[in-house]
Amino acid sequence: MRKVDDYIKEKMKEYPDFKAHYDLIKEKAAVVKEIIEYRIRHDLSQAQLAKEIGVTQQYISKIEEGEFSNLDTIENILHHVGYRLKLEVVPV
């Protein structure tokens, strides 16, 4: 694991935008993790969760694959699974 950490640190030094992209991926992964864990804890299929929230099963599938861009919907889903969305704007 040390080699991966070193690689990431090196890329952050080498490419100024790398850290921002890396951090965004980590945040998306955290969102996906909570949604999937909620489904598992409550023994729900994607279709069942989608129905509870009012979106399509396909939308839940895309979110669980890390493909999402609508913050309002993400905020609604996170609220449903017991979390809230916190955004932070920082200088580049």
Whether residue 54 has pLDDT greater than 80: yes
Task: Give the residue-averaged pLDDT of 26-52.
Answer: 95
More confident of the two residues 20 and 39: 39
Domain 2-80: top CATH class = mainly alpha
Long-range contacts of 22-27 (CB under 8 A, 24+ apart): 25/66
Query: Could you write out the three-class secondary structure of 45-68?
Result: CHHHHHHHHCCCHHHHHHHHCCCC
Residue ranges of domains in the chain: 2-80
Q: Helix 57-64 vs helix 46-53: angle between axes, to the nearest 10 degrees?
A: 110
When pLDDT is cut at 50, 70 and 90, the band that residue 44 belongs to is very high
Looking at residue 5, its pLDDT comes to 86
Report which of 51, 55, 90, 89 is spatially closest to residue 72, judged by C-alpha positions: 55
Looking at residue 70, its pLDDT comes to 84
Whether residue 89 has pLDDT greater than 80: no
CA 17 centroid distance within chain: 19
